[in-house]
Structure 1
Amino acid sequence: MKRNVIITGTSTGVGFESAILFAKQNYRVYATMRNLKKADALQERITTEGLDIEILELDVTDTQSIKKAVETVVAKDGQIDLLINNAGAGFAKTTEQATEEEIRWVTDVNYLGTVFCTQTVLPYMRQQKSGQIINITSVGGLVGQPFNELYCAAKFAIEGFAEGLATYVSPAFNIKISNVEPGGISTEFMATAIGKTAVDGKFATGEYLPIFEKYMAGNQQRANEGAEQVYQTGLEVAQVILNVAQNENPPLRIRSSQWAEDFCQLKTAADPDGTKLVKNITASFL
């Protein structure tokens, strides 16, 4: 019997590439997205390549939508083998200039969506005494960055959530938890971030503007000097996710490129994959 997988945020980017890659590796894929009007590109690949992918509607900010999608999968297959919490959105703006609505939105999409999707699949995985949950976080979940503090905070929250969860659901119920932490990804991600968060085409105004301009100049310089080292394609990140899914003893956390590894080195040097810490915490408390 094929392992099945639910992937959130599959209309573009890493989620899109993951859905196709996992299907080609003989998984039964449930590719979910908030807006089914964006399903045309994936549906075309399904049709032309004969892929075992079913597209479902799932809005990670709506718990009823999550529940409906998960129940659909269970009704069809009787179990859930793998959840990939991929849905997320970039956000870059100063804390002072972000609105309450924006702060709640970036938290809902990038953190609470992961929590609620995980909460919904856990009873099924616990009952079957097996399962795997892979969260797509970011180097921003380990290292805070200018103008990205609200986004980073949401990704930091996923890191803590996964770390705590892994200390007891993994040994007790054989549910494996992992975070994949990409650096830059050459997809629509940043374009979406700019469209969602910029003020008159900028992330910052007033006294913050000179700092923002320096930040952007540095980004551009790094991109010009070595874009191929910083930015991965969605498919490259999807391959890392697949490797984690096929690992009998997957790490708690893994960076998806050498650039990401180097970027986070000061935070991760003592325990690069998080495995030591989880074992120590489990031994201390349980």
Structure 2
Amino acid sequence: MKKNVLITGTSTGVGFESALLFANKGYKVYATMRNLKKAEALKKRISEEKLNIELLPLDVTDIISIQSAVKTIIAKDGKIDVLVNNAGAGFAKTTEQATLEEIKWVTDVNYHGVVLCTQAVLPHMRKQKSGQIISITSVGGLVGQPFNELYCGAKFAVEGYMEALATYVGDAFNIKITNVEPGGIATEFMKSAIDKTVDNGQLASGEYLPIFERYLAANQKRAGESEVAVYQTGREVAEVVLKVAQDENPPLRIRTSKWAEDFCQLKTQADPDGTKLVNQIKNSFL
């Protein structure tokens, strides 16, 4: 039977490319995004390539929107085989200078949305005794970075949430859990992060200014000297997502490039894919 996949945040980048790759591999794809007015590029590819992709509105910060999308899929197909939690947004600003609204927003988009989407599909996966949840996190979910503490905090939360979930839903209900951890991605996601960083010029002032200038200079130097090594395309990351979905025994976590692997090595060298830790926790608690 053909598998279906629900992907969040498919208007651009990794989500867009994942929708195309999964469809070309024979999956029925439910490509979702907050604003369907941004679906023109995807609609064009669907028409040109005659892809089995259905577009649905889904705002990961709105529980009613999430539940409505899941209900639509279940009504049509009776099941959800794979959830790809892709929707997210970059954010770089000091804790002092972030507003309460910004703190809530970065947490809602990058963490709460993952929890709410997962919560919505779990009853159906549990009932069918099979399923897979793949969350696009980041190297920032393993390694904290300057001016990214709020974003990293949200991604750390996703990593912990999925790690804990993996300790029992796999054996009990045959639900597989994986965190996909890219480094830099040359997509609209990166542009969004930069826009949020320089918004209203707050960072370019005060005692943080010299630190921030060094941070920007280092980023620009790294991008200029090693763009190929550091920044992946959305397509390259999407290929890792598809590989994980096709794996009979997927890892708990996987980096998407050598740069990402090297960047996280101090955190991951004892247990690169997270399998040892999950087994240890299961043996300790279950």
Provide the TM-score with structure 1 as the length reference: 0.98
Q: Are 1:54 and 2:54 an aligned pair? A: yes
Does the 8 Å contact 1:194/1:201 carry over to 2?
no
- 2:205 aligns with 205
Q: Matched residues in 1 for 2:204 and 2:267: separation?
A: 28
Partners in 2 of 1:79 and 1:89 — Cα distance?
Answer: 28
Distance 2:141 2:81 in 1: 25
Matched, 1:231 2:231: yes
- What CA distance in whole angstroms lies between the structure 2 residues aligned with 1:139 and 1:199? 24
Q: 1:162 maps to what in 2?
A: 162
Q: Could you tell me how far 1:122 is from its partner in structure 2?
A: 0.1
- What are the Cα deviations for residues 120-177 of structure 1, in whole angstroms up to 9, with x where unaligned? 0000000000000000000000000000000000000000000000000011000000
| Partner residue in 2 for 1:103 | 103
Amino acid at match of 1:254: I
Which structure 2 residue ranges, 5 or more long, are not aligned? none
Contact 2:90–2:190 under 8 Å retained in 1? yes
| Equivalence map 1:1-286=2 (5 Å) | 1-201=1-201, 203-286=203-286
Q: How far apart are the structure 1 equivalents of 2:204 and 2:131? A: 43
Provide, for residues 227-260 of structure 1, a one-character-per-residue CA deviation record: whole Å limited to 9, x for no partner. Answer: 1000000000000000000000000000000000
Q: 1:35 to 1:138 in 2, by over 3 A?
A: same
Shift in Å, 1:225? 1.4
Question: Size of the alignment, in residue pairs?
Answer: 286
Amino acid across the alignment from 1:172: A
Q: Is the 8 A contact 1:60 1:116 kept in 2?
A: yes
Structure 1 residues 226, 194: CA separation in 2 closer, same or farther (over 3 Å shift)?
Answer: closer
Structure 1 pair 194/225, CA: closer, same or farther in 2 (3 Å)?
closer
Q: Which moved more, 1:191-200 or 1:226-235?
A: 191-200
For 2:12 and 2:209, the matched residues in 1 are separated by 31
Partner amino acid for 2:156? F
**TM-superposition CA deviations, 1:178-213 (whole Å, max 9, x none):** 000000001011211232342434645311011000
Cα pair 1:97 1:204 within 8 Å, conserved: no
User: What is the distance in 1 between the residues matched to 2:113 and 2:80?
Assistant: 18
The DSSP-based 3-state class of the residue aligned with 1:132 is strand
Q: TM-score, normalized by length of structure 2? A: 0.98
For structure 1, the 5+ residue unaligned runs are none
Residues 94, 204 of structure 1: 8 Å contact kept: no
Counterpart CA distance in 1 for 2:216 and 2:190 is 13
- Whether the 8 Å CA contact 2:131–2:176 is kept in 1: the answer is yes
1:272 aligns to what SS in structure 2?
coil
Aligned residues: CA RMSD: 0.9
Task: Report the CA distance between 1:221 and its aligned residue.
Answer: 1.1
Runs of 4+ residues over 4 Å off in structure 1: none
| Structure 2: distance between partners of 1:66 and 1:197 | 29
How many angstroms does 1:220 deviate by?
1.1
Aligned AA (1:230)? V
CA deviations over 1:89-141 (Å, ceiling 9, x no partner): 00000000000000000000000000000000000000000000000000000
Deviation, 1:222, is: 1.0
Contact residue 97 and residue 202 of structure 2 kept, 8 A: no
